[in-house]
Amino acid sequence: VIPLLSDVGRLQSATPTPTPNGNPSSNSKGKVLPLLSDVGSNPSAIDYYSRVASNLAGAGRLGDFLIAAEGLRAASGDAGFAARINWRLLSRGVVAALREHGLPHVLEFLRDADRIGVHATVMLDADASDAVAAACRQLLDERIMAEFVEAIEALANCGFFVKGIVDPMDVLKIFVRKRDPDMAIRYARIFPHSQLLLCNTMEAFGKRKELKHALKVFGALKDQLGGINMFACRSIIDICSHCGSSVQARIIFEGLLAEKITPNTHVFNSLMNANAHSMSYNFSVYKHMQKLGVRPDLASYNILLKTCCNAREFNTAQEIYEEMKKKEHDGILKLDVFTYSTMMKVFAEAKMWKMASNIKDDMRAVGARLNLVTWSSLINAYANSGLVDGAIEILEEMIRDGCQPTAPCFNIILTALVKSCQYDRAFRLFNSWIEFGIKVSLSLEQKGSLPDNFTFCEEHPGTNGGTILVVPFRPTVTTYNILMMACGTNDERAKSVMNEMKRNGLCPDRISWSILMDIYGTSKNRNGAIQALRRMQRVGIKLNVSAYTVAIKACVESKDLKLALHLFEEMKAHQLKPNMVTYRTLLTARSKYGSLKEIQKCLAIYQEMRQAGYVTRTSVYCFFGIPLLFFSSSFSFEICACLDGCVYYAAHEMCLEIHTRSLTLSE
């Protein structure tokens, strides 16, 4: 039996006294135990007391183990005592303590052991380590997040391999869902790869459009690095773009310049992409990029093309494209499919179908293969120019080139027919595609070059050994929405199209119902529009501002202003903010009628519109058309003069005076 450390003093006093010749006296009754004072010089003493401490740990007496370890370490002068601890007994004691006293007790033991120089965490065997990790995972499963983070911090400080407990990103995603950036930052900093974890956390907040929390993580990342990380800057600017805050992206960029930091090409590209709606700003950024000596890459030019496309600056886009082709000729750039697709989109919106066709020739000249997006843009170029037959020919050429068209390609052609009011032709073409598909004659060479990804197609023998390929047409909800718009004011036909959509296993969306309500309104069928609105609610479609606005317009067309105003109040009761179209619909409606109460209601709506920030020349005219019916020509002349001079504030002051006079008249 190994004596306890508390018995050392008593046993030392009972040790037999040696005789003058150095041998123990004959009356010694037991084995001589090593003295505690000999621990620093006698290896057997160190082994002996190490076994004593190990037995204490194995018995689960972790507190006594720490007392023994601290005393023996002080006595031995750190003469290898910790290395002689039996790790199996220590591990067994930790598991027992974890079972009897819980994780906090074990964490306190590990901290104290680490403080006295006994690194207990590295001595634990696999079973003990798994038990500690399981206790931590239990906290995570029970979503006791604060205690879980404290436990992981304590284990990491003691040298425990905390990365193996649970994937850090799984924990950080929980904090993202809880919208708790502070705890996410604290947890990420535990790990050596905290920079990557913080960047991933920032992007996770960005995907949920939690810009405020993403910016907080970005600030923590900057503080930890002691400087600017270009990857983090690019990520946060992309997040600003995703959240629709181009102003915040500009602030971050200006902060870099204020700190005399030169952003790299990727940061510039992200900034320009976030501001693709502002042509003047993006071109100023592009010039600044050149001034700083940062070389633009292909993505930079593609974003500039995108900016020109959004601004409908077709000539500028063409100049940039010519510059890109020159750089490609000089070997500086290599244009990609995105570049060609963007230029085709530019020319499609400009109705320059010949220029779009030239882009196709440029692609084939450099050996680039047109993809689905490129072909769709080319079809759109012909369709927007009113060349429906040419668009159908491009569709057939697309198939011969080995690219199977999807429903949007067919929808582009149907949309062009609807815009040009060729409603009957749209229905005939749709029915032909549904029944027969689109038939394309292929030569033997074209047949052999077709890829294997053509699906649901039929082949029939053609002339001269060729093949007739039948590509099926599979309409989508958007297709049927286009056909509903082709119904004009025929609400029964539109309802029949919607029923056909349902028979084909498609569910009408919010746009489908809005189109149906608009058709009801145009045909002055107010009851049908309201029934469609309520039907939307019953089938589980959440009503939005657009749906209510269409219903309000239908009531206006039927001259039922009371019901229109009721829907307006119902929309606001559902926490939906009216948009400019909603206000204009109501104001325009009231300008057609002439009671004093209606004018006062219109004044209230106009004031509400001003508070919401919707004031334009058109909306002001919609409003001022009402009081001009009732008041003197002097007011009419002065207000019109203010509007023509864009002095809206002065017109508004006159509006208040008219409002006051209308109240006086009502009294």
In tens, the pLDDT along 438-481 reads 888 888 777 777 777 677 788 888 777 678 888 899 999 999 99
8 Å CB contact between 580 and 619: yes
In a domain, 532, yes or no: yes
Tell me how far apart the alpha carbons of residues 458 and 469 are, in angstroms, rounded to a whole number. Answer: 6
pLDDT in tens, 521-569: 888 888 999 999 999 989 989 899 999 999 999 998 888 888 988 999 9
The mean pLDDT value for 299-326 works out to 91
- How many domains does the chain divide into? 1
The mean pLDDT value for 256-269 works out to 92
Rounded alpha-carbon distances, angstroms, from residue 261 to 233, 248, 288, 426, 597: 12, 18, 13, 58, 63
Tell me how far apart the alpha carbons of residues 94 and 278 are, in angstroms, rounded to a whole number. Answer: 64
Q: Which domain holds residue 583?
A: 524-615
Is residue 593 classed as helix, strand or coil in its secondary structure? coil
The mean pLDDT value for 51-55 works out to 74
Q: Which of 147-151, 200-204, 479-483, 653-657 has the lowest mean pLDDT?
A: 653-657
Tell me how far apart the alpha carbons of residues 530 and 519 are, in angstroms, rounded to a whole number. Answer: 12
Partners of 461 in beta bridges: 467
The mean pLDDT value for 608-625 works out to 64
Partners of 471 in beta bridges: 438
The mean pLDDT value for 500-521 works out to 93
The whole-number pLDDT of residue 178 equals 93
In a domain, 61, yes or no: no
The mean pLDDT value for 130-149 works out to 90
The mean pLDDT value for 270-288 works out to 94
Phi/psi of residue 460, nearest 5 degrees: -130, 145
The mean pLDDT value for 609-628 works out to 60
pLDDT above 60: residue 5: no
Going by C-alpha positions, the residue among 615, 560, 622, 617 that lies closest to residue 591 is 622
Q: Which residues contact 544 (CB under 8 A, 6 or more apart)?
A: 510, 576
Tell me how far apart the alpha carbons of residues 239 and 260 are, in angstroms, rounded to a whole number. Answer: 23
The mean pLDDT value for 632-646 works out to 45
The mean pLDDT value for 11-39 works out to 44
Stronger pLDDT, 182 or 124, i.e. the higher one: 182
Going through 385-487 in order, the beta strands assigned E by DSSP cover 438-442, 458-461, 467-471
Percent residues over pLDDT 70 in the chain: 79
8 Å CB contact between 594 and 575: no
Tell me how far apart the alpha carbons of residues 59 and 126 are, in angstroms, rounded to a whole number. Answer: 19
Partners of 438 in beta bridges: 471
The whole-number pLDDT of residue 636 equals 45
Locus of tokens 């004596």: 3
8 Å CB contact between 543 and 511: no
Alpha-carbon 476 to chain mean position: 26
In a domain, 509, yes or no: no
Q: Which of 42-51, 210-219, 405-414, 656-665 has the lowest mean pLDDT?
A: 656-665
* Secondary structure percentages of the chain, helix, strand, coil, to 5: 70, 0, 30
Q: Which residues contact 426 (CB under 8 A, 6 or more apart)?
A: 414, 417, 418, 482, 483, 486
The mean pLDDT value for 263-270 works out to 94
Going through 138-284 in order, the beta strands assigned E by DSSP cover none
In a domain, 283, yes or no: no
What radius of gyration do the chain's Cα atoms show? Answer: 40
Q: Positive or negative, the Cα torsion across 253, 256, 258, 261?
A: negative
8 Å CB contact between 520 and 529: yes
Stronger pLDDT, 597 or 618, i.e. the higher one: 597
The mean pLDDT value for 136-161 works out to 90
Residue 427 has which token pair? 């229905």
Locus of tokens 């008041």: 631
Residue 10 has which token pair? 């008593």
In a domain, 252, yes or no: no
pLDDT above 60: residue 206: yes
Going by C-alpha positions, the residue among 611, 622, 615, 598 that lies closest to residue 649 is 615
Phi/psi of residue 379, nearest 5 degrees: -60, -40
Going by C-alpha positions, the residue among 218, 289, 204 that lies closest to residue 248 is 218
The mean pLDDT value for 380-399 works out to 92
Q: Which of 267-281, 285-299, 402-416, 450-464 has the lowest mean pLDDT?
A: 450-464
Stronger pLDDT, 572 or 12, i.e. the higher one: 572
The whole-number pLDDT of residue 64 equals 73
Q: Which of 4-13, 398-407, 553-562 has the lowest mean pLDDT?
A: 4-13
In a domain, 28, yes or no: no
State the pLDDT confidence band at 76, using cuts at 50, 70 and 90. Answer: low
pLDDT above 80: residue 265: yes
pLDDT above 60: residue 605: yes
Can you say whether residue 139 is alpha, beta or left, with left for phi > 0 and alpha for psi between -120 and 50 degrees? alpha
Q: Which of 14-28, 42-56, 152-166, 579-593 has the highest mean pLDDT?
A: 152-166
pLDDT above 70: residue 616: no
Rounded alpha-carbon distances, angstroms, from residue 523 to 64, 68, 336, 421, 529: 91, 95, 49, 17, 10
8 Å CB contact between 28 and 11: no
8 Å CB contact between 571 and 578: yes
Going by C-alpha positions, the residue among 470, 412, 419 that lies closest to residue 440 is 470
Residue 27 has which token pair? 């009356």
The whole-number pLDDT of residue 432 equals 93
8 Å CB contact between 255 and 218: no
Stronger pLDDT, 237 or 608, i.e. the higher one: 237
The mean pLDDT value for 346-372 works out to 88
Partners of 459 in beta bridges: 469
8 Å CB contact between 470 and 447: no
The mean pLDDT value for 273-291 works out to 93
Is residue 461 classed as helix, strand or coil in its secondary structure? strand
In a domain, 555, yes or no: yes
CB neighbour burial string for 399-415, b if at least 16 within 10 angstroms, e if fewer:
bbeebbbeebbbbbbbb
State the pLDDT confidence band at 594, using cuts at 50, 70 and 90. Answer: low
In a domain, 575, yes or no: yes
